[in-house]
Amino acid sequence: MLIERLSWDEAQKLADRVFLVPLGSMEQHGPHLPLLTDTAIVGEISRTVETRDPERVVLLPTVWLGHSPHHRRFACISLDLRPYIEMICGLCQSLVALGARKILLLNGHGGNDIPCKAALRELKLAFENRPDIYIVYAAYWNLAAREFSAIRTSPRGGMGHAGEMETSVMQVIHPELVRMEKALADGPLNEGPYRVADMLAGQPYHLVNEFDEISRTGTIGMPEYASREKGEQFLKAAVEAVSAFIDEFRAWRYQESAARRPES
């Protein structure tokens, strides 16, 4: 169900649905991919998820404005940290006022991670007396991490920013915007166990870098491993992983159960 196509009285009858909010960005993705890459990918995944289950998923338009200041020396349109947090809070508060009880913020851009988690903390305080409200944040590549690991052919470090996965998927959904002749591996690829950037390999520390400090071209990863065939596999895996999570998320009632539990 697409929320923008509903009338106000229809929109107020959706409390039992999962509200799916895709979060993208408008930022550089190396010389071979367009600025809309994150938005295009998470939007495509979300549209397909909604198409599979339109009676139980309410899809919002993809939020193309992300938190991307680390890309500013290449190219980006970005919100600063606090305005982004406030945007996420306002968006979720509006959905709750509409009647939403289950909200999934599906992320498509790594830079949105910190402000989204901060927003969830603020929202938990705002709705501290509402155990029936569940607001979840998840990145599609984390939900599909096992499947992505089985599909990839690049070594560790190959799937970062504009690397194997994103380039493969864009070859499927926007092949006219992919310039493979400009695709080159870049970023911290073989600089020791603590200096490898890969979306499927978490680092045991946190450090803030500007993108031009870790990449000459704006790419982190190995786009030369990309293919349309793998792009179709990555998309299918992401859709199935997000759908499976929504199926479980829809049934969650544990907060209400804890709230009703008598004190010992």
> Looking at the predicted structure, is the pLDDT value of residue 190 above 80?
no
Enter the DSSP assignment of 42: H
Give percent of the chain above pLDDT 70.
98
- Report which of 50, 53, 1, 43 is spatially closest to residue 22, judged by C-alpha positions: 43
Residue 264 lies in a domain: no
Asked, for residue 258, whether it belongs to a domain, the answer is no
The pLDDT of residue 258: 82
Domain count, the chain: 1
pLDDT averaged over every residue in the chain: 95
In a domain, 58, yes or no: yes
**Encoded tokens for 228:** 């349309």
Q: What is the pLDDT of residue 261?
A: 66
In a domain, 120, yes or no: yes
pLDDT in tens, 134-154: 999 999 999 999 999 999 999
Task: Give me the pLDDT at residue 188, please.
Answer: 87
In a domain, 261, yes or no: no
Residues in the chain: 264
DSSP codes, 111-177: GGHHHHHHHHHHHHHHTTT-TT-EEEEEEHHHHTHHHHHHH--S-TTSEEESSHHHHHHHHHH-GGG
Token pair, residue 21, equals: 């909010």
In a domain, 257, yes or no: no
Instruction: For residue range 44-71, list pLDDT tens digits in order.
Output: 999 999 999 999 999 999 999 999 999 9
**Alpha carbon separation from 102 to 73, 79, 99, 106, 179 (Å, rounded):** 38, 26, 9, 13, 39
Q: Is residue 220 part of a domain?
A: yes
Judged against a pLDDT cut of 90, whether residue 221 lies above it is answered with: yes
pTM of the model: 0.95
> Of 21-35, 36-50, 187-201, which range is least confident?
187-201
Q: Specify the pLDDT at position 80.
A: 97
Residue 262 resides in a domain:
no
- What's the pLDDT score for residue 262? 67
What domain range is 205 assigned to?
Answer: 3-252
Position 193 pLDDT exceeds 90: no
Which CATH number do you get for residue 38? Answer: 3.40.50.10310
Q: Decide if 49 contacts 246 (C-beta within 8 A).
A: yes
